[in-house]
Amino acid sequence: MRHSRIHPNVNLHKVTTLRLPTTLDDLCPFCSTVPPGIVLQNLLFYARYDLYPVAKGHLLIIPFRHVVSFFELTGGERQAAFELVWEAKAKSDADFRPHGYNVGVNVGQAAGQTVSHVHIHLIPRYDGDMEHPEGGVRGVIPEKRIYQVVDHRSGGLCDGRVHSA
């Protein structure tokens, strides 16, 4: 009997049946008859906690219909998506009491989309969860996160931080 050097308990002579995906449910982790872990939903979208959260309470807002890009959503789907984002924020406020949020969508491989099914990230943020949170979602390109802008009121430079008027 011959065994694999990498997996010594695997008998290489044993015939193994390879099961290929046969339906969209098999190919897409967000497509199933009854998606697991739904915490909120409307007719077109559902929300569930991210399996790989970047913060406590990180939610995904996902359409029931399989669609790859945010820009392929219909007008009705966009409306339903953002209605559920608002509901998810209210739930997160009640359950986790965050101090802020990042809301984002990755569209395309160059933008970091790893699942070919559109989903919106609602990421609660907490005071102190990052040393310098300035720049927010600009942090997807770290060297672009901190920047200076012209303060049109004074004509001087502003450091990109939020300042009260």
Instruction: CATH number of the domain at 122, please.
Output: 3.30.428.10
Q: Does residue 10 sit within a domain?
A: no
For residue 161, what are the domain limits?
133-165
Instruction: Report which DSSP code applies to 111.
Output: G
Rounded CA-CA distance 38/84 in Å is 12
Give the three-class secondary structure for 27. Answer: helix
Q: With pLDDT > 90 as the criterion, what percentage of the chain qualifies? A: 57
H helical segments located in 54-97: 75-96
pLDDT tens across 103-149, in order?
999 999 999 999 999 999 999 999 999 888 888 887 777 777 777 66
More confident residue, 65 or 153: 65
- Which helix H or strand E contains 157, and what residues bound it? strand 157-158
Say whether pLDDT at 97 is over 60.
yes
Rounded CA-CA distance 77/105 in Å is 15
Rounded CA-CA distance 48/91 in Å is 12
Q: Is 7 a catalytic residue?
A: no
- Which helix H or strand E contains 103, and what residues bound it? strand 100-104
pTM of the model: 0.74
Q: Does residue 8 sit within a domain?
A: no
The active-site residue out of 3, 7, 13, 119 is 119
Residues 95 and 44 placed together within one structural domain of the fold: yes
Residues 78 and 52 placed together within one structural domain of the fold: yes
Please provide the size of the chain in residues: 165
Q: Does residue 23 sit within a domain?
A: no
Residues 84 and 54 placed together within one structural domain of the fold: yes
Point out the least confidently predicted range of 30-44, 96-110, 113-127, 146-160. Answer: 146-160
Rounded CA-CA distance 114/61 in Å is 15
Q: Which amino acid is at 75?
A: G
Rounded CA-CA distance 122/125 in Å is 10
pLDDT tens across 66-91, in order?
999 999 999 999 999 999 999 999 99
Rounded CA-CA distance 70/81 in Å is 10
